[in-house]
Amino acid sequence: MTDLPVTVVPVGGGAFAPYDVVVGRGLLATAGQRIAPLTRGRTVVISDETVAAIHGPALSASLTAAGVANQIIAVPAGEGSKSFAELERLMDRLLEAGLDRKDVVVALGGGVVGDLAGLAAALYMRGIDFVQVPTTLLAQVDSSVGGKTAIDTPRGKNLVGAFHQPRLVLADIDVLATLPPVQLRSGWAEVLKHGLICDAAFFDWLSGDGAGGATGDPAALERAVVRSVEIKTGIVGEDEKEAGRRALLNLGHTFGHAVEAELGFEEAALAHGEAVALGCVLAFQYSARLGLCDPEEVETVDAAIAAAGLPTRLKQAGDFTADALIARMAGDKKAEGGRLTLVIARAIGDAFVEKTVDAADLKAFLQEQGAA
Ligand SMILES: NC(=O)c1ccc[n+]([C@@H]2O[C@H](COP(=O)([O-])OP(=O)(O)OC[C@H]3O[C@@H](n4cnc5c(N)ncnc54)[C@H](O)[C@@H]3O)[C@@H](O)[C@H]2O)c1
Ligand SMILES: O=C(O)C(=O)C[C@@H](O)[C@H](O)[C@H](O)COP(=O)(O)O
Ligand SMILES: [Zn+2]
């Protein structure tokens, strides 16, 4: 096993089997040794074409060295792969590979691969185990942890899915070195979100001394990943299936998902984290409009998000009508009986779920923000 220090964040406390999130450097090279005990000597690695070409060989060699026979199935890179069509192709390839119920699959990639492979694992023979090896910042800080798996439909984001927790998560900070800058920024948005939800001191650090993480500083990235995972696992351990507190992790997402759905998933014009960044600014602006949050706090949020090179204005994402955005928001999974639900905030680090959002007021707000 590697001599490099790692941080192990245990996930548990819920109704699911506990597992570890291991964060550190050089983890890909020793991944085989960590994954081998979970397998019966073989696995299928699910990746996307970009990640498979860059990091597939190292993972494959590590598995082989640990005595785990392996093959890689690669789906096209991008949000378009979170689709029924790609799920069907993937299920068929898993069946063709001859996996049985005791086999384990490994997801090597960003949130798209993790969400798709996780759902495939949840469905394959009614559920087999899977391991997450996240290769984007977003996947390391967020999507690989907590067991939400899903595909999109033209009607909206993540509307078909399952809760299916991984057996193990291996977050190797070194793989982030090959990530395009836009993807680092996108992941940084979910990191900032964690601070905005419940840790003002973390948010201060992210906007100050830790800001280099947004452009790839490995030490800042490692600290940001560890703290994000601690925050997320703390919430998921209490509320796996989003009966209550887990909805906080959706800060920025009701607006963000509406924007993503309006833009379309096939050729996603905006990365998920970019949409979330914009959504967080809108959530804080709306909180100030309701008189809940000090406008100065909104400016601080706006400035930190803009400084990370992330969008803060609706017009930066495209042209939208308020009615279309509200229709999308009403179809969000948090909405109950058609009632709009939003995660808003009293202050940085103090977000809460608001279940009675006035549609007419929200429409006026979106129009003030540039929607038609
Ligand atoms: N399940 C959850 O809890 C959860 C949480 C947050 C986001 N998500 C979902 O995650 C998805 C977004 O994930 P993402 O931002 O990781 O996008 P992604 O998986 O599409 O990856 C972004 C791009 O980076 C490339 N890439 C990945 N790792 C790389 C590396 N190390 N080097 C070079 N290129 C690399 C990919 O090929 C892709 O082109 C969205 O669908 C979102 O809904 C899910
Ligand atoms: O883990 C969660 O819970 C989250 O909400 C994390 C989000 O960042 C993530 O994008 C998630 O996929 C959104 O979930 P959804 O239920 O709104 O589709
Ligand atoms: Zn998200």
Q: What is the pLDDT of residue 117?
A: 99
Percent of the chain with pLDDT over 70: 99
- 156 Cα distance to chain centroid: 16
Q: Which stretches does DSSP call E strand in 36-137?
A: 42-48, 69-75, 104-109, 129-134
Mean pLDDT of the chain, nearest integer = 96
**Which residues lie with the beta carbon below 6 Å from any ligand 1 atom?**
48, 50-51, 54, 77-79, 82, 109-113, 115, 135-136, 138-139, 142-143, 146, 148, 157-158, 175, 178-179, 183, 186, 271-273
Q: 294 CB contacts (<8 Å, ≥6 apart)? A: 288, 347
Distance 289 CA to ligand 1 centre (A): 33
For 225, the token pair is 């990943």
Closest residue by Cα to atom 33, ligand 1, is 179
Q: Mean pLDDT throughout 54-66?
A: 98
What number does the ligand 1 atom closest to the CA of 112 have?
19
Instruction: For domain 189-368, say whether CATH 3.40.50.2300 is its number.
Output: no
**Ligand that lies nearest to the alpha carbon of residue 241, given by its number in the listed order:** 2
- CA dist 314 to 188, 256, 270, 302, Å? 19, 10, 12, 13
Q: What is the pLDDT of residue 269?
A: 87
Length of the chain: 372
Would you say residue 358 has pLDDT above 70?
yes
| Torsion from C-alpha of 359, 361, 366, 372, nearest 10 degrees | 80
Distance 178 CA to ligand 2 centre (A): 25
> What band does 42 get if pLDDT is binned at 50, 70 and 90?
very high
Q: Mean pLDDT throughout 218-237?
A: 98
Q: What is the pLDDT of residue 14?
A: 76
Contact present, 275 and 317 (Cβ < 8 Å): yes
Q: Mean pLDDT throughout 165-176?
A: 98
Best CA proximity match to 200, nearest among 335, 72, 32, 351: 351
Q: What is the pLDDT of residue 3?
A: 63
Q: What is the pLDDT of residue 176?
A: 98
Contact present, 147 and 121 (Cβ < 8 Å): no
Q: 88 CB contacts (<8 Å, ≥6 apart)? A: none
Q: Mean pLDDT throughout 272-298?
A: 98
**Ligand that lies nearest to the alpha carbon of residue 151, given by its number in the listed order:** 1
Q: Which of 164, 250, 343 to mutate to test the pocket of ligand 2 (most atoms within 8 A of CB)?
A: 250
pLDDT tens-place string over residues 46-56: 999 999 999 99
Dist. CA 69–CA 42, nearest whole Å: 4
Q: What is the pLDDT of residue 336?
A: 86
Dist. CA 245–CA 233, nearest whole Å: 12
Distance 44 CA to ligand 2 centre (A): 26
> What band does 1 get if pLDDT is binned at 50, 70 and 90?
low
Which residues is 70 bridged to in the sheet?
43
Q: Mean pLDDT throughout 278-302?
A: 98
Q: Mean pLDDT throughout 82-93?
A: 98
Domain definitions of the chain by residue range = 6-178, 189-368
pLDDT tens-place string over residues 96-133: 999 999 999 999 999 999 999 999 999 999 999 999 99
> What band does 338 get if pLDDT is binned at 50, 70 and 90?
confident
Would you say residue 15 has pLDDT above 90?
no
Dist. CA 277–CA 251, nearest whole Å: 10
Active site residue ranges: 126, 148, 190, 232, 242, 246, 250, 253, 257, 272
Which residues is 107 bridged to in the sheet?
46, 132
Task: Give the containing element (helix H, strand E) for 292.
Answer: none
Would you say residue 2 has pLDDT above 60?
no
Q: What are phi and psi of 334, to 5 degrees?
A: -80, -20
Fold of the 6-178 domain: Rossmann fold (3.40.50)
**Residue written as tokens 């996307």?**
48
For 55, the token pair is 């990091």
Dist. CA 186–CA 294, nearest whole Å: 26
What number does the ligand 1 atom closest to the CA of 273 have?
15
Q: Which of 51, 81, 172, 229 to mutate to test the pocket of ligand 1 (most atoms within 8 A of CB)?
A: 51
Would you say residue 270 has pLDDT above 80?
yes
Percent of the chain with pLDDT over 90: 94
Dist. CA 357–CA 286, nearest whole Å: 11
Q: What is the pLDDT of residue 123?
A: 98
pTM higher than 0.95 = yes
Which residues is 46 bridged to in the sheet?
73, 107
Closest residue by Cα to atom 15, ligand 2, is 158
Q: What is the pLDDT of residue 188?
A: 98
The verdict on the CB of residue 333 being under 6 Å from ligand 2 is yes
